[in-house]
């Protein structure tokens, strides 16, 4: 910081150089530095570099909202604990959604719950032709019946789902409350959305419905997912999940020996597929994640199933992998049929169903949303690493709509495990970063001057 100030001071003296003798210039510079340093540096040291009188954070209402976070951290912790303790497996989010709905309604927002269960609180802007969405997913990966009681240990909160996405939901409510408490009127309409169906086979259905409903007016989407302030997801990792199903007549292991066997066919297909070459750049992966079939050790099965996850930084590679999987299954089934001793005793059928698809996409580097995040980072003194990941932001990014995913502050770990934890220390920095990014794109309503 100090070095930067000194450089600036020298630069300002530069136009004098051609007009004056070197010695005089040196003396002038020395005087200038001595005069300026003691007065300017303590002030500048306290001010982030982007700070200037016209900046967002210098507006009294924005400042009040930023202060709100620092004063109300306990409230945010408590809401996070309450929401986390309401079970919300994907497709069973309704109870937790109702709790979020009540809090958003108490902030004076106009609330609606859409057909599939997303809760949306609307804060109208002075220009209602465009909207900015701040979203956090309601659902967790934990099945119904998982014990969820938040424990406090030292500075930590521990429970399944406490961070993913207890932190995001608490952040969503805190930002809404801070904006309302400070009576901020945005220029664009802000939608605070707690959405269903982000995890696993939820397949981003909540975000898909939000985008469908608001696409024509959508300026940007900011997703709050989990904790942290160190990253910004601007690249959507594409994935596709497929289920292979092979069926046949089935029979007795001894008396029907020789008839085509769906498990044999699946094994033949799988061995072919796992030899498929994938590039390291763009990074491309596959996983044979679940295999099932058969009813007993002494029966020829009538069915065999395989679930496969395909991911790539480039969607063309996913399409290539899917077509390779289809070729391998067709070939595996053909091998089994050709090699069956009793081919006429039943035919194998196969099909591949898509059980999930997350499209890819990237935020352009010159995006105004990313610029807003960068200014917010600069203001709070944070640095963000750009990440590629699979989040609700995949949907808008795949459609060319500006979107990012952020952690909602603090730190956490053990996501998707029973040991999940969250530590709120430093949460206010994360919330300030979110608020400034949101207002950076939504803007403030023009002030009405005295008339």
Which of 77, 139, 164, 428: binder of Zn ion (CB under 5 A)?
164
Closer residue to Zn ion, CB minimum distance, 251 or 412: 412
At its nearest, how many Å lie between Zn ion and the CB of residue 312?
A: 21
- The verdict on 392 binding Zn ion (CB under 5 A) reads no
Angle, to 10 degrees, between the axis of helix 166-181 and the axis of helix 60-71?
140
CA separation (Å) from 254 to 155, 204, 268?
63, 47, 22
Residues that bind Zn ion (rule: CB under 5 A) add up to a total of: 3
Closer residue to Zn ion, CB minimum distance, 150 or 325: 150
Alpha helices, H only, 57-134? 60-71, 73-84, 94-106
**Count of alpha carbons within 13 Å of 252, Cβ hemisphere only?**
3
- The verdict on 195 binding Zn ion (CB under 5 A) reads no
d(CA 348, CA 233): 44
Closer residue to Zn ion, CB minimum distance, 56 or 415: 415
User: How many Cβ atoms are within 10 Å of 100's Cβ, its own excluded?
Assistant: 26
Closest CA to 265 of 331, 332, 330: 332
d(CA 442, CA 370): 13
Residue 109-148 contact track with Zn ion, rule CB under 5 A, x = bound: ----------------------------------------
Residue 201-240 contact track with Zn ion, rule CB under 5 A, x = bound: ------------------------x---------------
Closest CA to 260 of 296, 291, 302: 302
Closer residue to Zn ion, CB minimum distance, 161 or 186: 161
Closer residue to Zn ion, CB minimum distance, 56 or 174: 174
**Three-class SS state of 39:** helix
Which of 80, 165, 270, 411: binder of Zn ion (CB under 5 A)?
165
Closest CA to 279 of 342, 239, 321, 339: 321
Closer residue to Zn ion, CB minimum distance, 148 or 348: 148
- The verdict on 93 binding Zn ion (CB under 5 A) reads no
At its nearest, how many Å lie between Zn ion and the CB of residue 7?
A: 43
Beta bridge partners of 239: 311, 358
Closer residue to Zn ion, CB minimum distance, 247 or 394: 394
Binding range to Zn ion, per CB under 5 A, among 29-37, 157-165, 189-197, 303-311: 157-165
At its nearest, how many Å lie between Zn ion and the CB of residue 175?
A: 17
d(CA 414, CA 421): 6
At its nearest, how many Å lie between Zn ion and the CB of residue 162?
A: 12
Instruction: Provide the binding-site residues for Zn ion, judged by CB under 5 A.
Output: 164-165, 225
């Amino acid at each position: 910081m100090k070095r930067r100030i000194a450089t600036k001071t020298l630069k300002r003296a530069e136009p004098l150089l051609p007009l004056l003798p070197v010695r005089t210039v040196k003396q002038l510079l020395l005087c200038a530095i001595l005069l300026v340093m003691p007065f300017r540096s303590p002030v500048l040291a306290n001010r982030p570099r982007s700070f200037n009188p016209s900046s967002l954070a210098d507006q009294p209402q924005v400042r009040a909202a930023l202060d709100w976070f620092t004063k109300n951290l306990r409230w945010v912790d408590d809401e996070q604990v309450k929401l986390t303790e309401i079970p919300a497996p994907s497709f069973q989010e309704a109870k937790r959604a109702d709790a979020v709905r009540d809090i958003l309604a108490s902030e004076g927002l106009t609330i609606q719950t859409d057909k599939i269960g997303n809760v949306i609180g609307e804060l109208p802007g002075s220009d209602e032709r465009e909207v900015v969405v701040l979203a956090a997913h309601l659902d967790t990966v934990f099945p119904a019946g998982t014990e969820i009681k938040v424990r406090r240990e030292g500075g930590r909160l521990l429970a399944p789902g406490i961070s993913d996405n207890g932190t995001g939901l608490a952040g969503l409510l805190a930002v809404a409350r801070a904006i309302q408490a400070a009576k901020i009127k945005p220029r664009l309409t802000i939608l605070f959305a707690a959405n269903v169906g982000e995890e696993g086979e939820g397949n981003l259905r909540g975000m898909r419905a939000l985008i469908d409903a608001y696409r024509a007016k959508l300026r940007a989407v900011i997703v709050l997912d989990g904790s942290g302030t160190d990253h910004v997801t601007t690249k959507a990792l594409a994935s596709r999940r497929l289920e292979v199903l092979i069926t046949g007549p089935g029979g007795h292991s001894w008396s029907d020996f020789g008839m085509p066997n769906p498990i044999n066919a699946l094994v033949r297909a799988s061995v072919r597929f796992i030899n498929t070459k994938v590039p390291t750049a763009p990074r491309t992966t596959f996983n044979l994640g679940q295999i099932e079939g058969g009813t007993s050790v002494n029966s020829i099965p009538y069915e065999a199933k395989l679930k496969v996850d395909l991911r790539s930084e480039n969607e063309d590679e996913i399409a290539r992998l899917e077509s390779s999987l289809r070729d391998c299954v067709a070939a595996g089934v053909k091998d089994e049929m050709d090699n069956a001793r009793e081919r006429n005793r039943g035919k194998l059928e196969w099909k591949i169903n898509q059980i999930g698809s997350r499209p890819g996409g990237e935020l352009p580097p010159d995006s105004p949303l990313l610029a807003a995040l960068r200014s917010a980072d600069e203001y709070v003194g944070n640095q963000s690493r750009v990440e590629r990941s699979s989040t609700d932001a995949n949907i808008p990014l795949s459609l060319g709509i500006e979107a990012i995913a952020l952690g909602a502050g603090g730190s956490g770990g053990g996501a998707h495990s029973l040991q999940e934890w969250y530590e709120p220390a430093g949460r206010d920095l994360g919330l300030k970063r979110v608020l400034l990014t949101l207002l950076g794109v939504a803007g403030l309503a023009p002030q009405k001057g005295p008339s």
